[in-house]
Structure 1
């Protein structure tokens, strides 16, 4: 983050985090509150370590750091985290996926991670996940430019993979038509109109609005092509989680905070990620060339992004959702997936290198 970006961020959140001076003592300035909070998010240092660095008591930091995180989210969510509200904006996102990743009618890549934390007192097994740790769940959907367009934070770690998405406002909005998604449209060279969909992995259930891979049990050639094309597109959200865990190292170890404060911290992290992905200059510092996985346009060979060289990111710190077993899918959802499968193997929809990577 450059000095200019820090100053702009301070202008946004300063009025909300500045406290009054008293006759007894001067208050901690808004700039220092923000700097301490950013240091906490970026380094993952404990409050006790930060106390010796900034000479601020632990009891004081434990109060204002969550307040600053909440102010960052509340102030910036309408500018950098706002979900598209018109069909035109959804179509722009879909065009980005088609241009960059050759996956038409796609409005987002979806995934979820467990945010590991210390066991809350008197919580029983509410936060106990399948990996044997305690966590809350971050469910996120990103666009083709590696930015969050939807996040849901705070679901209990014990809730099943399907329950995380089923309990989210994203599914409710899609099912009820509240997101104002574009009308169905046919793919190039095809006749059947298809809905706009979200791509995800095996942790989610197949539906007419959510595409997942075929089971990896002797799939046919066309199905293998479909799995490759879907995973190629879904790689975006995996890269976003990797970069976030790399830059905000508070996520690299269990958070020693109450679940509500963990939620506040994660919301601030996602907001800051989008804030730093807004301008070209800030992207050069925050996510320089080589940070994300890079795919050669002529061969499809993928060069790993620099975030993957960091041991333990994100596998040991952002735990993936549990993969589901194969289940009976709605026939309408299977028809949508079949139409995508046929398209990716057709002359209009195939990429020339796809058969080398399946």
Structure 2
């Protein structure tokens, strides 16, 4: 599974997110999924997660076609998504400039401010120049609620991809009772097969049938995992938020849909 390594591939992914999720400049949705395992021998509490079962983590970045474009699998269940992502190859490449992502440009042809291309994630991930997360808190103004709604629309692609993966390859419906190394190879094989099925005409299965687990029911482990973004990252998020409530960036149903 090769990470896209040229600007044209990234632009194709971004165009798909803009068309399907109405989220411009999006290079992928990132999230982690806990893979259930039978407690490995002599592992102590390393695999025991905050949901009270044993697991290791599949961390993935997904495009708007529900395909995995990056994955990191095998981290202990006790680790949080943010820490895993910060140690990943993709995060390091994103920060050293070797991913060859498109240079910042305006969100719309009529605008002037150049905005970076970004990944989208949930509250478990840190806000940064190239990674957007929702606004926190419960008493949010209209602009922030709209932003969180639009971000959720883009982020649901990774949630749905996990749901499709688990329902197509039913081995994930029970704890994997094999050595951790073998379990990791099983997950790798299933994600590659998942992409193969997605890319072959006539082999795609109905997405609506295999909806992802309700993200509202998934409470992430936030302690020490969500440092606040700096002023530049915050200003980028605010720019996106303002765009989503503008005449050119809004969608007709968002006032009712965000709740």
Does the pair score TM above 0.5? Answer: yes
1:89 counterpart SS class: helix
Deviations along 1:134-172, one digit per CA (max 9) or x if unpaired, are 211100111111111011101111123321111111111
Q: Which residue of 1 aligns with 2:241?
A: 341
> 2:8 matched to 1:88?
yes
> 2:234 matched to 1:331?
no
- Contact kept, 8 Å, 1:129 with 1:157, in 2: the verdict is yes
2:58 counterpart SS class: strand
**Equivalent residue runs for 1:1-358 within 5 Å:** 81-188=1-108, 189-283=110-204, 287-288=205-206, 291=207, 305-308=208-211, 314=213, 321-323=220-222, 327-358=227-258
In 1, the alpha carbon distance for the partners of 2:219 and 2:173 equals 14
In 1, the alpha carbon distance for the partners of 2:158 and 2:14 equals 15
Deviations along 1:120-139, one digit per CA (max 9) or x if unpaired, are 11112221211222211100
Alpha carbons of structure 1 residues 321 and 255: separation in structure 2 relative to 1, 3 Å: farther
Compare CA radii of gyration and give the structure with the larger one: 1
In 2, the alpha carbon distance for the partners of 1:259 and 1:223 equals 42
Q: Which residue of 2 aligns with 1:18?
A: none
- Contact kept, 8 Å, 2:106 with 2:114, in 1: the verdict is yes
CA apart distance, 1:346: 0.7
- Contact kept, 8 Å, 2:125 with 2:226, in 1: the verdict is no
Alpha carbons of structure 1 residues 235 and 314: separation in structure 2 relative to 1, 3 Å: closer
- Contact kept, 8 Å, 2:116 with 2:129, in 1: the verdict is yes
In 2, the alpha carbon distance for the partners of 1:306 and 1:160 equals 29
Q: Could you list the runs of 5+ residues in structure 1 that have no partner in the other structure?
A: 1-80, 292-304
1:141 counterpart SS class: strand
CA apart distance, 1:348: 1.1
- Contact kept, 8 Å, 2:47 with 2:55, in 1: the verdict is yes
- Contact kept, 8 Å, 1:161 with 1:323, in 2: the verdict is no
- Contact kept, 8 Å, 2:125 with 2:133, in 1: the verdict is yes
1:346 counterpart SS class: coil
1:281 counterpart SS class: coil
In 2, the alpha carbon distance for the partners of 1:217 and 1:82 equals 39
Q: Could you list the runs of 5+ residues in structure 2 that have no partner in the other structure?
A: none
How many residues align structurally? 253
In 2, the alpha carbon distance for the partners of 1:165 and 1:123 equals 23
CA apart distance, 1:215: 1.2
Alpha carbons of structure 1 residues 117 and 314: separation in structure 2 relative to 1, 3 Å: farther
Q: Which residue of 2 aligns with 1:56?
A: none
What's the TM-score once normalised by structure 2's chain length? 0.92
Deviations along 1:78-102, one digit per CA (max 9) or x if unpaired, are xxx3221111110111111111111
What's the TM-score once normalised by structure 1's chain length? 0.68
2:202 counterpart SS class: helix
